[in-house]
Structure 1
Amino acid sequence: MIRDFFRVMVVNLTTGKTNIEDLPGRGEVLGGTGLAAHLFRKYGHIDRDWDDPEQPLIFAIGPLTGYFPLMSKTCCAFRSPYHNQYTESYAGGKSALSLRFADLDALVITGKARRLTALCVGSRRMETRDVEYMRGFDAIQTGRVLRKIFPGSGRRSILRIGPAGENLSAYACINVDTFRHFGRMGGGAVMGSKNLKAICILGDRGFDLPEGKAYPKLYKHIFQQLTTTEMMAKYHGLGTAVNINPLNALQSLPWKNLQQTSSPEAENISGETFADDTLLRNAACAGCPVGCIHVGFVREQFQTNNQYLYRQVGYDYEPIFACGGMLEVTEAPEVLRILDVIEKEGLDCMSTGVALAWATEALERGVISESETVVPLKWGDSETYMQAVEMLGRPVNDFYKLLAQGTMKCAKAYGGEDFACVLGQEMAGYATGEVFFVSEGLGFRHSHLDSGGYAYDQKHEDKDVQKALDFLIKDGRERIVLNCMVGCLFSRGVYKDELLAEAMESVGYGELNGSITEIGHRVQRMRWRLRLEMGYRPDKVEIPKRYTEITTWKGPLDTDYMDALRRAYAARILEMGAPEEADS
């Protein structure tokens, strides 16, 4: 049923009470990222820290979720342990479709459980289970147990944390259905602070599809665009891991804590090598026909006999860059072994790899000693890195406790800020140049997906600050519209404005088509306003020295250009996030 309001379930873990609320605002925020910001404004607290029990953890979907292919993501919003400001993360798996089948536009969780708890919600259900016995369970083990506790069909989605979330690591992730994650900015720690080990979403109700010929005809057209053209073929083929060789050729591949931007050994961990030597199968998020999830296998031999244990580990470009190139681990199976431990501990793989790369260089330079690292971190030594990952998830000393709060926080305490590869959070894998570094460093959620700055660098040799700035604002706003839907950003080449308008029309939201661009503007401002109210100062952001020392395909980095763009982008952010009374 098409509705102009949002159906929101609000669960208070402290009191055990649950409310279903019908909230207006579809025409103001659409859904997804807009709905999440709207809900944080209603239920969140600007004047309280991230771990205050009453701060909300929000999961929101969009108006096209369940109706069209690749409208398969969920937006998770919270006040981040990383910087104590509003943020969001995105994940696929089955979470979005399960919320749709539960007849919910959003789930809001507040309060704190007295003991470690698992929460199960559905269209007419809210149940909590005491799972204190699961404290310390890794994320994979937790998933196995939860599937037995909360049996269900393919419409069931299981979200859980590992030890890192329980120990409040600032980059603890939320594992979604094993191979997907709310990875960045510490959503896992927010769950841990609420004594919430897991969330099971049961899609226990159906929903009607639009009547008439327009909807099935459009669905078929979009499906064909996604499956029979070359537009999405690379995501199913080698996946994003295909980026390793091209970025290496462009001298834009972060390597050895960004001491290099290319390496002759990159071929050993390329997408082609992973596919030839490790690929087991492809998987897909619910509601997606593309199948971009690439699952490799790790083989371990038992010492007592000749038998082997095989484990499945998901991979794509970002995990390979972070735990391969940044650590100079140049054997594909060894990269997967590190990723396997990261999965179990429940850490974000990008932040973990970049943090350990900084620690390795800091140890090499004598900034820290083995008394801090406990193990002798060394480039390419996967065994030692696996031990270090476990100590990040379950800190054994003050050094690992601080490193688990963020690389730059640790560098400020021990030294080595100049070579900390942090752009708001530990960097994504694109050493493409000035526009990307500014884009991620000042971006709303410090993600490579805030805008296509990495792509802009690869296509433009000019150094026009205004042109680059206009691109960042416009491209960011267009992505926000898709994040309101909430669609996979891989599909942005398919879901252009005209097609989105047609899709909205076919499911009954045609009256919103004329205002979608306006809604994108509004949501962009809403999100920035939340961050600025919580203390964000984009004009004070600094880009570490390491980024000024690199060379890309365009030559040495232009620090003047980067600084001018940084100042211009900061000014535009302050303008977009100005108080409401200044909007007119």
Structure 2
Amino acid sequence: MIEKDPIKRVLYIDLTKKKFWIEERPELFSEFIGGTGVAIKLLEENCPPEIHPFSPDNPIIFAIGPLNGVFPIASKTVAMFKSPHTGNLGESHAGGRSALSIRMAGYGAVIIKGKSERPCYISIYSDKVFFRDATTLWGLDEGLSAARLIREREPGAGLRTIIRIGPAGEKLISYACATLETYRHFGRLGLGAVFGSKNLKAVLIAGKRNLPVTDFKEYKQIYIELVKQLRESEKMKKYHELGTPANILPLSFSKGLPVKNLLTNEMQGVENISGELFAAKHLGRRVACAHCPVACVHLAALRKPYEDEPYFYRTIYLSYDYELIYALGSMLGISDSVDILKLIEIVEDMGVDAMSTGVALAWMTEAFQKGIITEKHTEEISPQWGNAEGYIEIVKKIVYSEGEFYKDLGKGVDYVSEKYGGKDFALIYGKNEMPGYHTGPAAHIGYLFGARHSHLDSAGYSIDTKSMTKSITAEQLVENILEEEQWRQIISSLVICFFGREVYTQEMILKCLKLSGYELNDKDLLRIGREIYANKYKFKVNCGFNLENVNLPKRVFEIPSSVGLINKDFTDRAIALLKEKIKSLL
């Protein structure tokens, strides 16, 4: 075993008292590996279920795993907190340099509690923590401006991560995100709002150290093998060339792309927002997360004219992916790639989650058309499908308006549809807005019962794709969803990017863990995955999540999916089975 592995240290920070301390937690990392497994246990320890998400006692937890910084594409950090958007488990993953920076600083997890009396940001340099005044950074119109000023003030360029919020986080919008390295995000479930509730503008983490392995010769061989497989994988080539927007045309062809709040699955001009079109017309460069040979992050170059001088432009780079093109494109009936980029820009500037924002805008548009809300609510703005300029103004209103309706819209579709009406077309799952896959029952049931209500919990869309050629029973669907989500707890405890899950097989993971000082076998991995999954659900239930109150949105049964119309009797059967399976774990 590797002695005194720094990944088994936890850094505790108290914003109220401006204090910090370090604890050795080897037993926690030995039992639950790292990442999401360790984070949920730390959340249990530090977050009483009755506390409000905006309470100073709600912890922000960043956790990494033993493969971060050591093996390729093991590039993610897990953030965990009590979500202001759902009222229970908040979990989000982000890449960039965050995991490497935390590991190089010498920690397996960082826990931030309390509330600063005035706006601040934290700078972590290995065993030193500094509390910096951020009064002049608070209230800046663009979230990026704060990060630029912090970059100029602080040393360590290239080895650090800067996690920061925009205006939406400061205004406590429940789906405000946290941005890092400009192009990566802790997107869903409101981490940005938890930052804002603590008067915390940003966290900078930096460090430099050697990382230990037990057998360098074997490590080198495995590393080379992994890089080779990742580079030669057809899926990885697709992600490098087009990124996830490669899915736009196939999903549209199979009727799995939601359009106009899922009023339809057909979109005129979909080729104008395809991955191929974005690459040919807008792609400026590709970037990669730390220790990743794939470079799947695609940046579009958007030229913006200066208003007071003709033929003079500034060029900004914006990251785009499938989820953004869906949420800010097809979901809103927008078929112009430049309009989508303009919406991406305002979403980035405000610091809101793109998916929740897009679904909220789509719900608002349909509610306006049906007369549920009027211009009296919207402050004379008339939301219309395809009108990007109107949507840009609405996003600003969500963040800055003092009007009641926009404040309500800033609490999410579940809240606003409960108050004003329109539940029948509210596309929400456990209070979280719909991801972009209308592929069939497995996708929607996966969103509903996934611990995060995310498409990344169990990849139900993959199960739907397989069922196109081979029929599946409700029992098989449930087993597939449970098996996949429990296995993904291992992937997100290591912490590996889910794109690399086909390369990181059980056999490969055990080899990598052995080199990192962990003696585990196949049964150990499956047992740990089940325990982590159960721990997440226990936390959710303790916070008030009721399995009996979850239902699929009515709309999903009205519009054909990739496998045709979804059969409600089938989903009712699967839902009943899944509820019993989850209850047995509690």
TM class by shorter chain equals over 0.9
1:232-255 deviations in Å (ceiling 9; x for gaps) = 111111010000000001011000
The residue identity in structure 2 corresponding to 1:416 is G
Aligned-pair distance for 1:435?
A: 1.4
Amino acid at match of 2:438: A
User: Out of 350, 355, 363, which is 2:360 matched to?
Assistant: 355
Secondary structure of 1:133's partner? coil
Q: What corresponds to 1:488 in structure 2? A: 497
Matches within 5 A, 1:370-385: 370-374=375-379, 375-385=381-391
Q: Give the conservation status (yes or no) of the 8 Å contact 2:429–2:550.
A: no
Q: How does 1:11-410 map to 2 (within 5 A)?
A: 11-23=13-25, 24-137=27-140, 138-305=142-309, 306-374=311-379, 375-410=381-416
C-alpha distance in 2 between matches for 1:47 and 1:176: 30
Deviation at 1:514, TM superposition (A): 5.4
Q: Which amino acid aligns with 2:131?
A: T
Residue of 455, 459, 479 corresponding to 1:452: 459
Identify if the C-alpha distance between structure 1 residues 386 and 426 changes in structure 2 by more than 3 Å, giving closer, same or farther. same
CA distance in 2, matches of 1:94, 1:2: 26
Please say which of residues 2-11 and 439-448 is displaced more in the overlay. 2-11
Q: CA deviation at 1:3?
A: 4.4
Q: Please state if 1:7 is matched with 2:9.
A: yes
Find the aligned partners of 2:390 and 2:290 in 1 and give their Cα distance.
Answer: 37
420, 423, 426: which one aligns with 1:420: 426
Q: 1:288 to 1:60 in 2, by over 3 A?
A: same
Separation of aligned partners in 1, 2:21 and 2:138: 28
Q: Give the whole-Å Cα distance in 1 for the aligned partners of 2:208 and 2:407.
A: 41
Structure 2 counterpart SS, 1:232? helix
Instruction: Work out the number of aligned pairs and report it.
Output: 577
User: TM-score normalised to the size of structure 1?
Assistant: 0.96
Cα separation, 2, equivalents of 1:152 and 1:372: 48
In 2, Cα distance between equivalents of 1:40 and 1:13: 17
Deviation of the 1:455 alpha carbon: 1.1
1:46 Cα offset (Å) = 1.6
Residue 539 of structure 1 contacts residue 567 of structure 1 at CA under 8 Å; is this kept in 2? no
| CA apart distance, 1:209 | 4.6
- 1:582 aligns with none
238-247 or 255-264: bigger deviation: 255-264
Letter of the 1:490 partner, please give it: F
Out of 255-264 and 313-322, give the one that drifted further: 255-264
Of residues 257-266 and 166-175 in structure 1, the stretch that sits farther from structure 2 once superposed is 257-266
Is the partner of 1:469 in helix, strand or coil?
helix
Query: Bigger CA drift: 319-328 or 33-42?
Result: 33-42
Amino acid at match of 2:398: L
Question: Using the alignment, how far apart are the partners of 1:511 and 1:474 within structure 2?
Answer: 19
Q: Deviations over 1:253-308 (max 9, x none)?
A: 00011011122321110000101111100001111111000000211112322201
CA distance in 2, matches of 1:434, 1:517: 25
- Letter of the 1:30 counterpart: I
CA distance in 2, matches of 1:231, 1:546: 32
Answer yes or no: is the 8 Å Cα contact 1:27–1:512 preserved in 2.
no
TM-score normalised by structure 2 residue count: 0.96
Kindly tell me: are residues 399 and 296 of structure 1, through their superposed partners in 2, closer, same or farther at Cα, counting changes over 3 Å? same
Residue 415 of structure 2 aligns to which amino acid in structure 1?
K
Distance 2:89 2:509 in 1: 28
Cα distance change on mapping 1:513 and 1:126 into 2, 3 Å: farther
- For the residues of structure 1 that align with 2:87 and 2:176, how far apart are their CA atoms? 14
Aligned residue identity for 1:330? S
User: Helix, strand or coil for the counterpart of 2:464?
Assistant: helix
| Aligned residue type for 2:211 | F
Equivalent residue of 2:455, what SS? coil
Q: Distance in 1 between matches of 2:166 and 2:583?
A: 37
2-side partners of 1:55 and 1:554: how far apart?
Answer: 42
Unaligned runs of 5+ in 1: 579-584
CA deviation after TM superposition for structure 1 residue 567, in Å: 2.0
3-state SS in 2 of match to 1:132: coil
Q: Residues 179, 208 of structure 1: CA spacing in aligned structure 2 closer, same or farther, 3 A cutoff? A: same
- Structure 1 range deviating more: 422-431 or 386-395: 386-395
Q: Give secondary structure in 1 for the equivalent of 2:37.
A: helix
Give secondary structure in 1 for the equivalent of 2:116. coil
Secondary structure at the residue paired with 1:197?
strand
SS at match of 1:311: strand
CA contact (8 A) 2:73 2:496 kept: yes
The secondary structure found in structure 2 opposite 1:152 is coil
In structure 1, how many angstroms separate the alpha carbons of the residues matched to 2:473 and 2:343?
41
- Say if 1:81 and 1:190, in contact at 8 Å, map to a contact too: yes
Q: Give the distance between the partners of 2:519 and 2:219, measured in 1 at CA.
A: 12
SS in 2 for 1:296: strand
Q: Distance in 2 between matches of 1:458 and 1:228?
A: 23
- Give secondary structure in 2 for the equivalent of 1:563: helix
Identity within the alignment, %: 38
The structural deviation recorded for 1:538 is 1.7
Query: How far apart are the structure 1 equivalents of 2:178 and 2:250?
Result: 31
Once residues 336 and 208 of structure 1 are traced to their aligned partners in structure 2, the CA distance between those partners, rounded to angstroms, is 43
1:463, CA displacement in angstroms?
A: 4.8
Q: For the residues of structure 1 that align with 2:292 and 2:474, how far apart are their CA atoms?
A: 38
Question: Secondary structure, in 3 states, of the residue corresponding to 1:552?
Answer: coil
Superimposed CA distance per residue, residues 517-555 of structure 1 (whole angstroms, 9 cap, x where no aligned partner): 211111111111111111111221022211111112432
Q: What is the rounded CA distance, in whole Å, between the counterparts of 1:328 and 1:2 in structure 2?
A: 57
Gaps of 5+ in 2: none
Q: Which moved more, 1:5-14 or 1:490-499?
A: 5-14
Distance 1:209 1:472 in 2: 34
Q: Distance in 2 between matches of 1:208 and 1:153?
A: 24
The residue type paired with residue 189 of structure 2 is M
The superposition leaves residues 321-376 of structure 1 with CA deviations (integer Å, 9 ceiling, x where unpaired) of 00000011111111011000000100000000110011011111111011222211
Q: 2:444: which partner in 1? A: 437
Are the counterparts in 2 of residues 225 and 231 from structure 1 also a CA contact under 8 Å? no
CA contact (8 A) 1:504 1:513 kept: no
Distance change (3 Å), C-alpha of 1:443 and 1:349: same
Assess if the C-alpha contact under 8 Å between 1:11 and 1:18 holds in 2: yes
On the 8 A contact 1:174/1:187 being kept in 2, the answer is: yes
Counterpart pick for 2:564 among 544, 555, 569: 555
CA contact (8 A) 2:438 2:562 kept: no
Q: Is the 8 A contact 1:171 1:347 kept in 2?
A: yes
Question: Post-superposition shift, 1:62?
Answer: 0.3
**Range with greater deviation from structure 2 (541-550 or 157-166):** 541-550
CA deviations 1:364-395 (Å, max 9, x no partner) are: 11110112222111111111111111112223
Structure 1 residue 123, shift from structure 2 partner: 1.3
Task: Write out per-residue CA displacement over residues 29-53 of structure 1, whole angstroms, 9 at most, x where no aligned residue.
Answer: 1100010011112222122111110
Q: Is the 8 A contact 1:505 1:513 kept in 2?
A: no
Which residue identity does 1:503 align to in structure 2? C
Please state how far the C-alpha of 1:2 moved relative to its aligned partner: 5.2
